[in-house]
Amino acid sequence: MGSPLQGILDRSFHHELLVHGIVAQITIPSDPNGAVTPGLLSTLFVHRGVDGTKITNIFPSPQYPTYEIHFPIIAPSIFTADNGTRISLYVGAISVNFNMLTNTGSVEKVAVFDGSKELDSFSNLGWTGNHPNENLKLPTIKAFSHGLDIVLTLATPIGAYSGFEFRSVGITLVKSTWIVVEPDPPVLVR
C-alpha cells in the first residue's frame, strides 16, 4: 500500500506569466441563435501591433451594454522534478496592463477562468485612464487543470463610444510541493 501524498504550500515561489496584448479576443454580442447583432461589426475597429491590441469604436446598445475581452494563458498545472517530486502550481494573482484611448468607457470586471469554470473575479472596478501595472491578488490561491482565460468586461455609456489598448495580462503562479507522508507504525494491542 502506497503512502498518502500531502501538499505543502510554498509561498516563497512566485512566477509571473505574462501574455502580450496581441492575443486579445473580443466577444461580439449575439442573439440566442448565435447571430451577431446587426451593425456591431461595421463599427468595431481592432488593430493588432507591437504595442498590443487596440479596440476602438465600441458602441454599446441597450441590450448589450458591455463587451468581454479574453486573454488565453498557457500555463502548466503540475511539474515533475528529476527526482520524481510533483510540484502543483496555483493561480495567486492577476495582472493587467492597459490604457483607455477615449474619455468614456471603463474596465468593470476582471475574472480568471479554468476552462469554463470561473475561479475568481474582481467586480465594480470602474478603471479608466492608464493602468500600466494593475495587480489583483486572489483572496485564496486557486488550483487549475484546464486552459486559463483572463476576461476583462468593458462598459461604455449608452450613446457614447470607447477605445482601449491592451498591452498585456498575466497570472502569478505559486507552488505546492507534494511530499510522501509515512503513516505511523501500527500499534499492537493485547
pLDDT band at 122 (very low <50, low <70, confident <90, very high): very high
Domain-embedded: residue 100: yes
190 located within any domain: no
Is 155's pLDDT higher than 80?
yes
Cα gap 129→84, rounded to integer Å: 48
185, part of any domain: no
User: Is 189 among the domain residues?
Assistant: no
Query: Which pLDDT belongs to residue 31?
Result: 55
Number of structural domains in the chain: 1
Look at the block and give the residue holding cell 468595431: 44
CATH number at residue 23: 2.60.120.260
Domain that residue 38 falls in: 5-180
Residue type, 170: G
| pLDDT tens column, 62-112 | 777 788 889 998 887 777 777 777 777 889 899 999 998 989 889 999 999
Q: Give the predicted TM-score (pTM) of the model.
A: 0.78
Residue 48: inside a domain: yes
159: confidence class by pLDDT, cuts 50, 70, 90: confident
